[in-house]
């Protein structure tokens, strides 16, 4: 018997079949959610310059896109709306004929089995670009996001998305009490069967840069640091997750993903809810940019990174690479 552990480990690495046999984690197409940016108008299929391969799509263009998504075996899409009008209160977010509501109805018509996850936030819909209502604060002498006034509008948004047919409500606004407010509004409106995928742990992050260009949601003043988390904090993530679980969250999301794998592991070890990692826009753009220069092997880098997210404890991954991965895994 060999006394060298290294030799014992290497015995299990001798061939691809052996490596497959002892694999601890697998990335599969069932784990993936593909984000879509929908916009008003017709025949619009406009590439987002900082996210090559990702498009703004008008509703008529969804048909071809969804055929591809469904054919690849992807189970869910995450919808972001790019509206044609914005105002102080973000009213196009909770309009029954808002862009997300229209797109949701169309998707459920075309593919009743494809899950529609609706992003519930106001930042794409407000003229100031914040995730809630902004009120002037006499004490601080500046515009502040009014937490409780925002909750009402977010709850209204969630209900109108569920009415349009959304299968999962994904609030990304990080207001205090947002899961409870949305849960009780959904229940009261007859949608107690619709789960809430909470962006429980969302860091204030430079990794959202390309998304803000894509969604036209850059704050017009200030930043999101009063409601999103500080990258230096981990214990605070537990407080956020605990609050959301107590308020009735069905999924816990961590965002961004790759710079926060310790947080994914921590939440996986502590809680029993499905854990979702959001592989955000800059995580996509960085790999794309380097791949376009021929500096790295895109497929290998993406599969290794996302397998890493699964190993860290993510059950589900939201990623702009979803279609590529589905193809590569075939």
**Which listed residue (255, 288, 310, 323) is catalytic?**
255
Among 37, 211, 251, 260, interactor with ligand PBG by CB under 6 A: 211
Closest distance between ligand PBG and the C-beta of residue 322, in Å? 12
DSSP state of 229: B
Q: Please answer whether residues 226 and 174 qualify as being in contact, where contact means their C-beta atoms are separated by less than 8 angstroms.
A: no
Q: How many residues bind ligand PBG (CB under 6 A)?
A: 12
By the rule CB under 6 A, 244 interacts with ligand PBG: no
Residue 134 sits at φ, ψ, to 5 deg, of: -105, 130
Element (H, E) at 213: helix 209-215
Residue number, 224 or 310, with CB nearest to ligand PBG: 224
Among 104, 281, 305, 319, interactor with ligand PBG by CB under 6 A: 281
By the rule CB under 6 A, 123 interacts with ligand PBG: yes
Q: How many helices (H) and strands (E) does the chain have?
A: 12, 12
Residue number, 93 or 123, with CB nearest to ligand PBG: 123
Among 82, 99, 107, 121, interactor with ligand PBG by CB under 6 A: 121
Residue number, 191 or 208, with CB nearest to ligand PBG: 208
Residue number, 63 or 213, with CB nearest to ligand PBG: 213
3-state secondary structure at position 281 = helix
By the rule CB under 6 A, 208 interacts with ligand PBG: yes
By the rule CB under 6 A, 212 interacts with ligand PBG: yes
Span interacting with ligand PBG, options 55-63, 106-114, 116-124, 266-274, rule CB under 6 A: 116-124
Instruction: Confirm whether 202 is a catalytic residue.
Output: yes
Closest distance between ligand PBG and the C-beta of residue 119, in Å? 6
**Which listed residue (86, 202, 288, 323) is catalytic?**
202
Q: Please answer whether residues 107 and 116 qualify as being in contact, where contact means their C-beta atoms are separated by less than 8 angstroms.
A: yes
Contacts of 113 (CB under 8 A, 6+ apart): none
Dihedral over Cα of 261, 181, 214, 129: its sign: negative
CA-to-CA distance for 214 and 37, rounded, in angstroms?
8
Residue number, 33 or 69, with CB nearest to ligand PBG: 33
Contacts of 272 (CB under 8 A, 6+ apart): none
CA-to-CA distance for 192 and 174, rounded, in angstroms?
22
By the rule CB under 6 A, 280 interacts with ligand PBG: yes
CA-to-CA distance for 175 and 152, rounded, in angstroms?
11
Span interacting with ligand PBG, options 10-18, 94-102, 117-125, 141-149, rule CB under 6 A: 117-125
Instruction: Confirm whether 141 is a catalytic residue.
Output: no
Closest distance between ligand PBG and the C-beta of residue 208, in Å? 4
Smallest CA-to-CA distance from 71 within 328, 326, 318, 306 is with 326
Q: Please answer whether residues 313 and 28 qualify as being in contact, where contact means their C-beta atoms are separated by less than 8 angstroms.
A: no
Smallest CA-to-CA distance from 158 within 133, 180, 130 is with 180
Per-residue contact flags (x/-) with ligand PBG for residues 151 to 180, judged by CB under 6 A: ---------------------x--------
Q: What is the CA radius of gyration of the chain?
A: 20
Q: What is the binding site for ligand PBG (CB under 6 A)?
A: 119, 121, 123, 131, 172, 208, 211-212, 217, 224, 280-281
Please list the active-site residues: 202, 255
């Amino acid at each position: 018997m060999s006394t060298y552990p290294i030799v014992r480990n290497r015995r299990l690495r001798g061939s691809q079949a052996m490596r497959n046999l002892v694999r601890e984690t697998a990335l599969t197409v069932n784990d993936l959610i593909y984000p879509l940016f929908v916009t008003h108008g017709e025949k619009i299929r406009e590439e987002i310059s900082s996210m090559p391969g990702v498009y703004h799509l008008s509703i008529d263009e969804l048909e071809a896109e969804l055929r591809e998504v469904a054919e690849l075996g992807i189970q869910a899409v995450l919808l972001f709306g790019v509206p044609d009008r914005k105002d102080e209160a973000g009213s196009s977010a909770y309009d029954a004929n808002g862009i997300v509501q229209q797109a949701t109805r169309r998707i459920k018509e075309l593919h009743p089995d494809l899950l529609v996850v609706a992003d519930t936030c106001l930042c794409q819909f407000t003229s100031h670009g914040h995730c809630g209502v902004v009120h002037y604060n006499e004490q601080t002498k500046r515009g502040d996001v009014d937490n409780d006034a925002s909750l009402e509008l977010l709850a209204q948004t969630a209900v109108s998305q569920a009415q349009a047919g959304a299968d999962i409500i994904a609030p990304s606004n990080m207001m205090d009490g947002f899961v409870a407010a949305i849960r009780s509004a959904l229940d009261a409106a007859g949608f107690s069967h619709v789960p809430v995928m909470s962006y429980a742990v969302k860091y204030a992050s430079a990794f959202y840069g390309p998304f803000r260009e894509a969604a036209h949601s850059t704050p017009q003043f200030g930043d999101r640091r009063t409601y999103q988390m500080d990258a230096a904090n981990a214990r605070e993530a537990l407080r956020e997750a605990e609050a959301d679980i107590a308020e009735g969250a069905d999924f816990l999301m961590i965002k961004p993903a790759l710079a926060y794998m310790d947080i994914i592991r921590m939440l996986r070890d502590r809680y029993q809810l499905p854990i979702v990692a959001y592989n955000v826009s800059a995580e996509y753009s960085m790999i794309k940019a380097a791949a376009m220069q021929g500096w790295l092997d895109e497929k290998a880098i993406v599969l290794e990174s996302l397998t890493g997210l699964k190993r860290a404890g993510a059950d589900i991954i939201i990623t702009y690479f979803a279609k590529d991965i589905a193809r590569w895994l075939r």
